[in-house]
């Protein structure tokens, strides 16, 4: 694993108040997750490792060179989107855009991504697959899954730090 030290930003991540309050290991998020970044190939290996550890399907991954290291996006699995919006609306959306919503969800990252960002998006992915369909996107349950993902990432990276 080729960890790259990244300069900390003065930006406070969204939802930080909730993460600080409910995280089991906030120090791990800030000391490892905010300090190190990985390139596209290592990010893919980390996502694969975490999804295998928790027995959830691997999401589609999309990487964009222009995305900042501290930002990502997670699309829910198609079944979650259909359940919350209706099959007809989703079929119409897919037809209009000439693309389908990924069956197992999608995580979008930059070519260089901070470990915390990967854990954040994996937290969403774990919630989508392991929790009830309408679990809040950035609630206490998500913070627990963020912690789960960061702990798995830390185990995989600990020899490098």
- 118-152 pLDDT, tens digit each: 999 999 999 999 999 889 999 999 999 999 999 99
Convert the pLDDT of each residue in 17-52 to its tens digit.
899 999 999 999 999 999 999 999 999 999 999 999
Q: Find where tokens 């950035």 sit.
A: 138
Tokens of 29: 């998020």
Helix (H) or strand (E) holding 148: helix 140-157
Q: Provide the 10 A C-beta neighbour count for residue 136.
A: 11
Average pLDDT, the chain: 92
CB 90 within 8 A of CB 101: yes
Does the pLDDT of residue 161 top 60, yes or no? no
59: nearest Cα among 70, 43, 38: 43
In the numeric block, the tokens 């490098």 are attached to: 160
């Amino acid at each position: 694993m080729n960890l790259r030290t990244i300069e900390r930003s003065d930006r406070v991540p969204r939802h930080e108040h909730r993460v600080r309050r409910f995280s089991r290991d906030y120090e791990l998020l800030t000391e490892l997750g905010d300090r190190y970044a990985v390139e596209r190939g290592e990010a893919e290996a980390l996502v694969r490792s975490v999804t295998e550890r928790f027995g959830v399907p691997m999401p589609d991954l999309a990487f964009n060179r222009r995305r900042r290291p501290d930002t990502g996006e997670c699309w829910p699995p198609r079944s979650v989107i259909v359940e919350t919006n209706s099959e007809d609306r989703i079929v119409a959306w897919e037809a209009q855009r000439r693309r389908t919503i990924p069956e197992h969800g999608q995580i979008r990252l930059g070519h260089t991504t901070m470990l915390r960002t990967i854990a954040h998006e994996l937290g969403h992915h774990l919630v989508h697959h392991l929790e009830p369909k309408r679990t809040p996107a950035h609630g206490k349950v998500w913070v627990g899954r963020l912690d789960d993902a960061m702990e798995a990432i830390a185990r995989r990276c600990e020899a490098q730090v």
